[in-house]
Structure 1
C-alpha cells in the first residue's frame, strides 16, 4: 500500500472562486461544493469527491450562470444547496439566493462504469431550481439549521437578518421574523448558527452580537471584538458557549459568550486578513484558518477544547514512560502551515466523512485537499 502521508491533492477550476462548503449530509464520502466567480463567463458549481485509496479528486460540474458569492449545503439531503449570487439587469445589480437540487450525478449512478466515475465530467450538468428567496435586499449568506431539523433557514443581508420557514417538500419558504440593524454603521459581514441552541451570531464592523431567533432578543454582544472588520465566525460544535472569530486585524480570537469582557485565547499566526475559520466537527481541539497571506493554518487549541488534558506538576514518583506519554499528548500551537496556494484563501472546510481530511480554496480557482499530519492524529486518538 502506498504511503500518502504529507501529499497534497489539487483540483483547478477554470474560473476564479471564493466559496466552498462540505457536503455535510454525505457522511460516506469526502465531498465538497465549490462555486466559481467569473464576471464575464458562465459560472459553474463543482462537486468534488476525494478518493483516499486512489488519492485523487473526481468532479461533476453543474451550470450556474451568475457568479457565486456564497454556497451552503443542506445538512440532511446531499443533493440540495443554496447559492448567493449577483444578478444583473439593465438598471441595477441585485444579490439573490436560490435553493438548487443537483439530482443524480454520473459518479453516483450505480450503472456507471467504475473507470468512468474517476473521469472528470467535461460538460456541465443542469441544476434544478427549487425556489428563489424573496426580497429585494442584498443577500450575502444563507445559514441552515445545524440541528438538521430542516424547518428553518436564515438569510443575512446588509442590515437585516431574516428567519425563514420551509413549506412541505422545500417548494417555497415564508418569512417568519426579521432582525433589523442600524444603517448608520457598516453592513453585516458574516454570521454563524449556534449548533447548541436557536441562536445566530453576526459580525458587523469589529463587533459580534448574538440573537435568539425564537424570542427575537439579543443574547450577547462583544464590542470591539476585533480592531477592524470581523470576516469569519464559527461556533464550537462540541463545547457550548464558545465561538471563534477572525478578521482584518490578522487575529483569531476565542470567546465564551457568557462572559465577553475578554477573549479566552488569541492566535496571531497570519500576516494578512483572515477570511475563514473552521472547527473540526469531531475533534474541536483542531481549528483551520485561512487568509489573504495565501496560507492555511492548522491550529491545536486543546487547552480550551472539550478534550482538555489536565497534567500534574512534576512528580519524582512518575516513571520515564509516564512522562513520555504526557509529552506525546496534544498541546496548543501551530500544527502546520499549508502554503500550496498562490492567491488569497477565502474558504476552508472539513470533510463530513473523514475527520482528518479538509479542503481549502483560493481566489485563483485552486481547491486543495490536505490531511491532518499523522503525528497529530495519533496524539489525539491514542
Structure 2
C-alpha cells in the first residue's frame, strides 16, 4: 500500500542500516539522517531531504568508518549529531559515541547531491568534535529536548551519564551518574521526557523513570511487557503519558501517575517491535515498526491531547451534526505501509511537515510516506 496519491518515495543505501532520525533543528525542510551498518566496509551517514513538490529525495553522503548503531540529531544546530558505533580495538569490540559536524551543503549540480535512490561513490568528510568519555558500552545518546541543561545523556549497559556541553559544543563535562543493578540484563533503550528533566529507560521487561537532577526514581513499571522492552517514547503534548513496545509484539500506553495497568494496548504487529513514535504536532497519530517488515500508522485519539467526543446519541441532533461526528477521528489502525522487505528498525516524523514520516529497514531502504489525506482532513477540519 502507498499514500493517498498512489505514490511513495524510496531511497536505497549501499549497506545495511538500522538507525534513523529527523533533523529536528531544521523546521523548514523535511530532513533525516541515516547511518549504515556494515562490518566489512566503510560506513556512511546519509543526509536525506524530501522535496514534496517534486516528490523526490536528494542526499549528501558523509564518511563514517565504523558501523552506526544509533544516531541523534542536535535539537539546536542542524549540522551537529551524535553517533554510537562499534569500534574494534585489540580484538575487542567497544561501543563508543562521537559528536560530529557536517560540512556546508554542496551545490545542487554536484554529483554527490543525489536524486531518487542511487548513491554515488563519492562521500564527504565529517568533522569530529569530541568523543564521549566513559566506559565502552554506550548504547544511545539523548539530547536535552527543552535545552534547559544544554547537554545530553548517554545510556550505557548499567548506567545513565548526564553531561553538560561547553562553549560552541566543543567539549562535554560529566555532571552525574545514575547506576543500575547488573541483574536482569543491561539497559535496552531510553527516552527523554520533553516536559521535564526526566529520563525513562527500558531494562529487560520493565520501565523506570529517573529525575536526572535529583537522581531519584520517578516511576517504575514492573513487567511492562512479557519479554524485552525495545522502544519508548513520551507523548509530546501530555506530560504524564509514555508509550512502550517490545518483543511481545505489543504497544502499550501508560499514565506514569498510576502504572498498575496500561491505559491502552495495541496488538497489530506479528513480530518484534523495534521503533515507535508520537507525531510531535498531533499526538493522536502514532507510528510503530518491527520485524514483520511493516510500518503501522495508528490513531489513538481517545488518549491524546485532542480527545474528541463522539458516539453521543441525542434525538435533538440534526443529520448534519451526526455526519460531523462520524467524520471525526476514531481509534484504530489508519494504514499499514508494507514497502519494506526486511525488519524495519527505525521510524521518524519530519520536523517540518507533520504529515510526513520516514522508515528504515535493515536492507538499507529508507521510505518516505505521508499520512493519508482523509485522516489529515479528519484532524484539521
Specify if TM > 0.5: yes
Q: Which residue of 2 aligns with 1:235?
A: 234
1:172: Cα distance to partner? Answer: 1.1
Secondary structure at the aligned position of 2:245 is classed as strand
Conserved 8 A contact 1:59-1:121: no
1:256: Cα distance to partner? Answer: 0.2
1:167: Cα distance to partner? Answer: 1.1
| Number of residue pairs the alignment of both structures matches | 376
1:92 aligns with 2:92: yes
1:312: Cα distance to partner? Answer: 6.0
1:136: Cα distance to partner? Answer: 2.4
1:231: Cα distance to partner? Answer: 0.2
Conserved 8 A contact 1:165-1:176: yes
Runs (5+) with no aligned partner, structure 1:
none
Q: Which residue of 1 aligns with 2:123?
A: 124
Q: Which residue of 1 aligns with 2:190?
A: 191
1:114: Cα distance to partner? Answer: 9.7
Secondary structure at the aligned position of 2:231 is classed as strand
Q: Distance in 1 between matches of 2:122 and 2:97?
A: 24
Q: Which residue of 2 aligns with 1:366?
A: 365
Distance 1:216 1:150, change over 3 A: closer
1:105: Cα distance to partner? Answer: 1.9
**Structure 1 ranges of 4+ moved more than 2 A:** 112-122
Q: Which residue of 2 aligns with 1:255?
A: 254
Q: Which residue of 2 aligns with 1:34?
A: 34
1:4: Cα distance to partner? Answer: 7.0
1:184: Cα distance to partner? Answer: 1.9
Deviates more, 1:21-30 or 1:165-174: 165-174
Q: Which residue of 2 aligns with 1:307?
A: 306
1:17 aligns with 2:23: no
TM-score, normalised by the number of residues in structure 1:
0.96
Deviates more, 1:62-71 or 1:4-13: 4-13
Q: Distance in 1 between matches of 2:26 and 2:80?
A: 11
Q: Which residue of 2 aligns with 1:138?
A: 137
Conserved 8 A contact 1:80-1:102: yes
Secondary structure at the aligned position of 1:106 is classed as coil
1:137: Cα distance to partner? Answer: 3.2
1:52 aligns with 2:52: yes
Secondary structure at the aligned position of 1:250 is classed as coil
Secondary structure at the aligned position of 2:7 is classed as coil
* Superposition map of 1:1-382 within 5 A: 5-106=5-106, 112=108, 119=115, 122-149=121-148, 151-311=150-310, 313-382=312-381
1:118: Cα distance to partner? Answer: 5.6
1:122: Cα distance to partner? Answer: 4.5
Q: Distance in 2 between matches of 1:171 and 1:116?
A: 28
Runs (5+) with no aligned partner, structure 2:
none
Q: Distance in 2 between matches of 1:181 and 1:114?
A: 49
Q: Distance in 1 between matches of 2:35 and 2:311?
A: 49
Q: Distance in 2 between matches of 1:98 and 1:172?
A: 11
Distance 1:7 1:345, change over 3 A: same
Q: Distance in 1 between matches of 2:110 and 2:39?
A: 36
Secondary structure at the aligned position of 2:183 is classed as coil
Conserved 8 A contact 2:58-2:113: yes
1:293: Cα distance to partner? Answer: 0.2
1:313: Cα distance to partner? Answer: 2.5
Conserved 8 A contact 2:60-2:114: no
Conserved 8 A contact 1:76-1:150: no
Secondary structure at the aligned position of 2:237 is classed as coil
Deviates more, 1:308-317 or 1:318-327: 308-317
1:149: Cα distance to partner? Answer: 4.0
Cα deviation, 1:277-328, whole Å, max 9, x if unaligned, reads 0000000000000000000000000000000012362111111111000000
TM-score, normalised by the number of residues in structure 2:
0.96
Conserved 8 A contact 1:60-1:121: no
Conserved 8 A contact 2:23-2:33: yes
Conserved 8 A contact 1:144-1:150: no
